[in-house]
Amino acid sequence: MKNISINTQLTVFESLSELPQNIQQLMQQAVTIRKKAYAPYSNFRVGAALLLDNGQIVLGSNQENAAYPSGLCAERVAIFHAGAVAPEAKIVAMAITAASDTNQTQSPIPPCGACRQSIAEYEFKQEQSIPIYFMGEIGNIYLSDSLKNLLPFTFDKNFL
C-alpha cells in the first residue's frame, strides 16, 4: 500500500488592476453578461467570457428553467457556444464572475463540477491549457493556469 498526493496551485490577485489589460477587459465583459443572466429561481447570476486565439470573445450567462435541472451554467453556455461557432479556434483565457441578488459575493466563485468536466473536454481537444480567472462580485480574483488544477485526476477520452 502507498499513498499518492496530487498538488494543485492557484494564483491570487487582490484586485483587477493586477491582471493583464486584456484579462481585465475580459472580466469586465463577464461582469456585463452576468447582469443579463436569466436566474429567476436562484437569483444567483454568473457570467463567463472566453477569449479565443482568433481574437473573438464568446460570452455566456446562466440560463435557468422552471424544471430546474434543465437550466445551464454560464461556463457551459459560453464554452458550448464557442465550440459551435468557432470549433477550430483555441480558448486562450476564461473569465468567470458570480453575484447573488440577495447578498454580496466577496470571494472567488469556482466553476461547478459539471462545468469543470466540460471545460476539461475542450482543454484536451485543443491540446493547450486554458487559464481560468474567477471571482465573486468583489474581492480577490483566483487564477488556475489550467483546468487540471481545478479537476485533478481528470476523466478523459484516454480512459475509454
75 is catalytic: yes
Closest to ligand THU by CB, 34 vs 148, is 34
73 in contact with ligand THU (CB under 6 A):
yes
Taking CB under 6 A as the rule, does residue 118 contact ligand THU? no
| Cα–Cα–Cα angle for 117, 98, 51, rounded to 5 degrees | 60
Q: Per CB under 6 A, does 71 bind ligand THU?
A: yes
Among 29, 62, 97, 118, binds ligand THU (CB under 6 A): 62
Long-range contacts of 30-37 (CB under 8 A, 24+ apart): 30/59, 30/95, 30/96, 30/97, 31/97, 33/59, 33/60, 33/61, 33/74, 34/61, 34/74, 34/97, 34/98, 34/99, 36/61, 37/61, 37/62, 37/63, 37/74
CB under 6 A: which stretch of 6-14, 23-31, 67-75, 120-128 binds ligand THU?
67-75
Site size for ligand THU (CB under 6 A)? 13
Contact positions with ligand THU (CB under 6 A) in 12-51: 39, 42, 44, 46
Tell me the catalytic residues: 75
